[in-house]
Amino acid sequence: IRRRPRSTLDRSSAAADVYKRQFKAWRSVDQSFPIVLMFKVRYRSPLQKVIIWNHPDEPTATYIKELQVLASLDDPRTNPEAMVEIGRFKVSTPDSKVVFDVETPVTFRFATIRILSTFGQAEYVSASELGLFGPSRDPERIPMPRGSGPIPI
């Protein structure tokens, strides 16, 4: 999957409080850690790579520094114990694109990304996109977002 983060599996009003739509990149409303993002994919999918794209127009202090990825085949709303940690990743220096390899690839339908820290003290956390990919996608060929314009998808 590759898309801008959404905050919850449902479309409740709480979801609108976690990100702001008027910006070019995703922004959290505040910097209250952990920030939890949940994803659901239609079909079982392999997970081997985690990619963070940071928008060049955002301050590096807002970039994700540390995150945890959990995944399961079962819906965590009905079976919370099914979620297992896939990895905890730490970015060494702020960059426009960061790629992490999952040590033990898994198949999933539900994923949770917990953002644990950023590179500085800022009022919000930002990311242009977050991607969860299987072994068939080459992250080097996936385009990086450009500044001051539409984000290529």
- The mean-pLDDT minimum among 15-24, 83-92, 99-108, 115-124 falls in 15-24
Looking at residue 65, its pLDDT comes to 97
Q: How many beta carbons lie within 10 A of that of residue 13, not counting itself? A: 7
Whether pLDDT at 136 is above 50: yes
Whether pLDDT at 35 is above 80: yes
From CA 50, how far away is CA 29, in angstroms rounded? Answer: 23
Q: Order across the sheet with 97-118: list the strands.
A: 2-3, 129-133, 35-53, 97-118, 64-72, 84-90
Q: How far is CA 76 from CA 84, 114, 122, 133, in A?
A: 10, 14, 31, 20
